[in-house]
Structure 1
Amino acid sequence: MLIGGVSFVPMNLPYTFPVPPVTIRIPYALPGLLLPLLLLLLAPIGRPAAAASAPDVFSSASLSASLDSLMQASYFSDEHFAVPSGTETRSGFPLQFVPQYSDSVYAARIEALNRKTPFNLTYNNHVKGFIRVYAVDKRIATTKILGLTRIYFPMFEAALARHNVPADMKYLAIVESALNPTAVSRAGAKGLWQFMYGTGSRYGLESSSFIEDRFNPRKASDAAARHLRDLYNIYGDWFLALAAYNSGPGNVNKAIRKARAASGSSGNRDYWTIWRYLPAETRGYVPAFIAVHYIMNYHREHNLEPLLPGFLYRDIESVEVRRPVSFERVSLTLGLPIEDLRFLNPQYKIGFVPAGNTAKGELRIPEQYARVFSDRENDLYDPVVTALDIPEGITDTAEVVPDVSPLQPSPPARITTHRVAKGETAASIARRYGISIRELAELNGLGGRMLIQRGQRLSIATTDTGSRKNSGRDVRYHRVRRGETLSDIASEYRISVRRLAEWNRISNKKIIRTGQKLRVSP
């Protein structure tokens, strides 16, 4: 259907997307016999290789499948986005039409973008294939990604500016994760910027029992900006930096050597001249980046309007947490839905913020709750209420996006409070609760020397693998230490002596003995 020279495709009708031939300008003086040879040499650039459908190839087909799986993930469920009403979009197009354009229009628009960016943006069939995925095949996914840019792009731009990386590099995160902060690839890359463990560790991203900094949008964005700047300093070309970000500097160096050997020149340090020598996945990586760059700037011309997520970047504040606290406790104290805490803080793997003397925790919450947090912060750290079970069903929050698979569910964590007794060490306390010293130190912000003091309160995170009572809480016990009285024990667990005596059927004489096991919870 043609309207004013623009083709439209109803969203529910099948449509075959044409693949035009590659246009090559050849000087008239070029001998005719060289033309077939030239076309043969350039053919891989104009047309995807036969292996493009293989799982390890980043192609338009694999991207389409990835976005399909993404739409099944809870993180992208429709309930999190505001669906527009009416029959006409802000662009003036009817809702059911999908505009498409000629090659000359795409090329002209990309050239206009190219004049405003340090990237060498070009248009070819690979780019066209990725544009089709975002603009035609997976339009709903694209509208949700457009909405999520309101959350993440201001954060990306700030991090990129700090390290003198072009602001347009923010589009890389869409290629990497479709703006899913909990994306996990089958190779183990995680987060918005898809860091592998080793690379993330080099840039200060912590991965431990409680924290996954690769899921932390702010920290991961800063690490990505530093990494990209380092790669640019090696190659002096942003597309080569992108290729190295995807496949590693070793593969880029190898491709450069092969290109130089094939041409007999020492100057082949351009992405398109080494394109055919790169790994199959990386050959589709930069074209996808160009397509995303185009769609984000011309989405209205394609009748794509953002579906806004429930939280916008300007509605969120970061608050500092001084002591360990569970999401459940924050939810109960502030009246903030626990699902919102998970959405805004995916870096905390089991719904618990480890913080202590040497490390403060960061919590992102809607701004309307920031004043409540300030007024009631001390209530969060009350040992009586911090010793709560994290609700059953909390798992790691990975979602499926480009070549990703869900993580195995993490067992629910249970947080209790332990008061250090005379003679106890970090090692003995860790053994008592069946956890590692590292976990104990991390949760309580202990330094490398693991120094603790008598009377100090420590948070203990244990995994409940046994049965639960109907109340959702395990019965806890305390073994009486030498010299302890009922009053001491009641004070340690913030309960009354009367209740402690009732739970343990202790007579009015309240006599206890060393080594006796006492019940200290309902």
Structure 2
Amino acid sequence: MIKKLLFTCIYALIGFVTTSSAQQILKADSLYKKQNNVFVNTDTVSVPLAIENPLLLNQNYIYKLRLDSVTRTVPLPHNEYVQQYIDIYVKRKDMFGKMHGLSDYYFPIFEKALKDYNIPQEVKYLTIVESQMNPHAISRVGATGIWQFMFGTGKAYGLKMDNYVDERKDPIQASYAAAAYFRDAFEELGDWLLAIAAYNCGKGNVNRAIDKAGSRDFWEIRQFLPKETRNYVPAFIAAVYVMNYSGKHQITELASNMILKTDTMQVNHFVSLQSIAKVLDMDESALFALNPWYKKKIVNGTADLPKRVILPKLKSADLAGLYDVLNNDESDGSMRIIEASTDDVRELRKKKVTVPTSTAIVYHKVISGQNLTAVANKYGIEVQDLKVWNGLKSKTIVPGQKLKIYAKKTVALKAPASYLTYIVKRGDTLSEIAEKFNGATVQSIRKDNQLAKAGLQPGMVLKISKG
């Protein structure tokens, strides 16, 4: 009897301890659940139950619904890669506010070119990822313009690059070249996301990724693409989302300085943008913004090959003055069209620095206020050539610095055999001309040409004694 009573007491005590412990665990568990919004399961056999944050789920679903609502021809799926870029872009409120402002001018240009080649209109948003709609954008490898064409690709699609123009910076010409590229890429690859990927890394890289993955689904081949391209397509989809749902993320449009109402004229003379701006009583920079492909701010039109210039909507009062300017040829006789050489950094690295044939080496001393572009324009050469010849890693130069230039020899025009000739360009000085020729001095040039003073006129032919 005593033993039974003892066992009963022991079991009761064990039961009390167990119940007390369970209550403590339950209280602790309830507190943890309340604070952390997760379910703690001590059962190591069954799969733990995890309650996801319902707000996050709801947000992701909204993003998907919104992308579905703007999807037309190009697939715009929502996944973790796209969401990462949406999260990045919605924080860049000023940038996307600026994109909305610029889109009022540029999107109609892009849309027409894409429509003419039967390319989906969504492709226009790629310009945000490529260049933020900046016609002067240049990548670290040399891709240039709003659509970021490499030199070789741009040339292959009909864009002209010479010492006066770079049509990669022409929004109209570059848009048609881009549309032609997408037409070819889609015909070869059969998928718009693959065509977009090819625009970033080339059709060859995409085809190799397809072979490795055994699939034509971008998300399947993504891991086999270059790192930049893996993120390029998600960034494009995110840009489409943000541009269409900016209001949901407190992004407001920022007005751009672009003139929206414009006229177009064909010019068959050399005329500077400065002269046109002056007669139209407008700022030269605003006119250059409409015509960014003219590298020297000179419209180099000829009778055989007129050039397009975009102007603000003309008033009848402007026509007479504009007519005079456009028909007053500003060429000085020394203006020649020189086809540009490649600025593809990858190609330049492969090439050895070679001395051009039939050239004379001259040294240019940098003066205060000069940059590489001004020096290149002075000698009719390309900035990239200057950088290669002088081993420059950037465009920074300083006053007093001497630059090596392989200048093409001037053809002697009815000059004695002991002389060279030089055609004076706008802005030339005697000291600068003397620097171009070994042994020449200001005094010797004055003497040889019987110059009473240092005054020079564009087009003047000077005799230069051979050093």
Identify whether the pair has TM-score above 0.5, normalized to the shorter chain. yes
Alpha-carbon distance in 2 for matches of 1:428, 1:325: 28
C-alpha distance 121-379 of structure 1, shift in aligned 2 (>3 A): closer
Deviations 1:148-182 (A, max 9, x none): 00010000000001001011111111111111111
Alpha-carbon distance in 2 for matches of 1:479, 1:215: 46
**Does the 8 Å CA contact 2:430/2:454 hold for their aligned counterparts?**
no
Which position in structure 2 is the counterpart of 1:495? Answer: none
Alpha-carbon distance in 1 for matches of 2:226, 2:378: 45
Which position in structure 2 is the counterpart of 1:311? Answer: 258
Which position in structure 1 is the counterpart of 2:61? Answer: 104
Which position in structure 2 is the counterpart of 1:366? Answer: 312
Determine what percentage of the aligned residue pairs are the same residue.
35
Q: Structure 2: which 5+ residue stretches go unaligned?
A: 1-44, 48-56, 334-370, 380-409, 414-419, 433-444, 456-460
Which position in structure 2 is the counterpart of 1:26? Answer: none
Which position in structure 2 is the counterpart of 1:347? Answer: 293
- Higher deviation after alignment, 301-310 or 346-355: 301-310
Q: 1:462, CA displacement in angstroms?
A: 6.5
**Does the 8 Å CA contact 1:412/1:464 hold for their aligned counterparts?**
no
Which position in structure 1 is the counterpart of 2:247? Answer: 300
Is residue 240 of structure 1 aligned with residue 197 of structure 2?
no
Is residue 121 of structure 1 aligned with residue 76 of structure 2?
yes
Provide the secondary structure at the position in 2 that maps to 1:308: coil
**Does the 8 Å CA contact 1:411/1:463 hold for their aligned counterparts?**
no
Alpha-carbon distance in 2 for matches of 1:225, 1:516: 49
How many pairs does the alignment contain? 324
Please show how residues 243-254 of structure 1 align to structure 2 within 5 Å: 243-254=197-208
Is residue 320 of structure 1 aligned with residue 277 of structure 2?
no
- Higher deviation after alignment, 337-346 or 220-229: 337-346
Deviations 1:97-131 (A, max 9, x none): xxx981121111112223xx111211112211211
Output the amino acid matched with 2:205.
Answer: N
**Does the 8 Å CA contact 1:479/1:516 hold for their aligned counterparts?**
no
Which position in structure 2 is the counterpart of 1:198? Answer: 152
Q: 1:316, CA displacement in angstroms?
A: 1.8
Please show how residues 24-43 of structure 1 align to structure 2 within 5 Å: none
Q: 1:146, CA displacement in angstroms?
A: 0.9
Output the amino acid matched with 1:409.
Answer: T
Which position in structure 2 is the counterpart of 1:173? Answer: 127
**Does the 8 Å CA contact 2:222/2:230 hold for their aligned counterparts?**
yes
Q: 1:333, CA displacement in angstroms?
A: 2.6
Which position in structure 2 is the counterpart of 1:281? Answer: 228
Q: 1:413, CA displacement in angstroms?
A: 5.0
**Does the 8 Å CA contact 2:129/2:239 hold for their aligned counterparts?**
yes
Q: 1:387, CA displacement in angstroms?
A: 5.9
- Higher deviation after alignment, 241-250 or 338-347: 338-347
User: Out of 178, 198, 212, which is 1:224 matched to?
Assistant: 178
Q: CA RMSD in A?
A: 3.9
Output the amino acid matched with 1:379.
Answer: V
**Does the 8 Å CA contact 1:195/1:214 hold for their aligned counterparts?**
yes
Alpha-carbon distance in 1 for matches of 2:375, 2:238: 41
Alpha-carbon distance in 2 for matches of 1:411, 1:433: 17
Give me the TM-score of the superposition, normalised by structure 2: 0.62
User: Out of 82, 101, 104, which is 1:147 matched to?
Assistant: 101
Q: 1:382, CA displacement in angstroms?
A: 3.2
C-alpha distance 331-196 of structure 1, shift in aligned 2 (>3 A): same
Q: 1:214, CA displacement in angstroms?
A: 0.2
Alpha-carbon distance in 2 for matches of 1:299, 1:504: 61
C-alpha distance 130-464 of structure 1, shift in aligned 2 (>3 A): farther
Deviations 1:298-327 (A, max 9, x none): 1111121211212243x1222211100112
User: Out of 271, 276, 283, which is 1:337 matched to?
Assistant: 283
C-alpha distance 480-168 of structure 1, shift in aligned 2 (>3 A): same
**Does the 8 Å CA contact 1:175/1:289 hold for their aligned counterparts?**
yes
C-alpha distance 516-186 of structure 1, shift in aligned 2 (>3 A): closer
Alpha-carbon distance in 2 for matches of 1:375, 1:220: 31
C-alpha distance 326-101 of structure 1, shift in aligned 2 (>3 A): farther
Q: 1:504, CA displacement in angstroms?
A: 11
Alpha-carbon distance in 2 for matches of 1:347, 1:335: 22
Larger Rg: 2
Output the amino acid matched with 2:295.
Answer: K
Alpha-carbon distance in 1 for matches of 2:289, 2:316: 17
Alpha-carbon distance in 2 for matches of 1:502, 1:461: 19
Alpha-carbon distance in 1 for matches of 2:375, 2:453: 29
Alpha-carbon distance in 2 for matches of 1:135, 1:234: 34
Q: Structure 1: which 5+ residue stretches go unaligned?
A: 1-31, 36-99, 261-267, 389-406, 416-425, 435-459, 469-476, 482-500, 506-514, 518-522
C-alpha distance 325-413 of structure 1, shift in aligned 2 (>3 A): farther
C-alpha distance 168-329 of structure 1, shift in aligned 2 (>3 A): same
Give me the TM-score of the superposition, normalised by structure 1: 0.55
**Does the 8 Å CA contact 1:177/1:193 hold for their aligned counterparts?**
yes
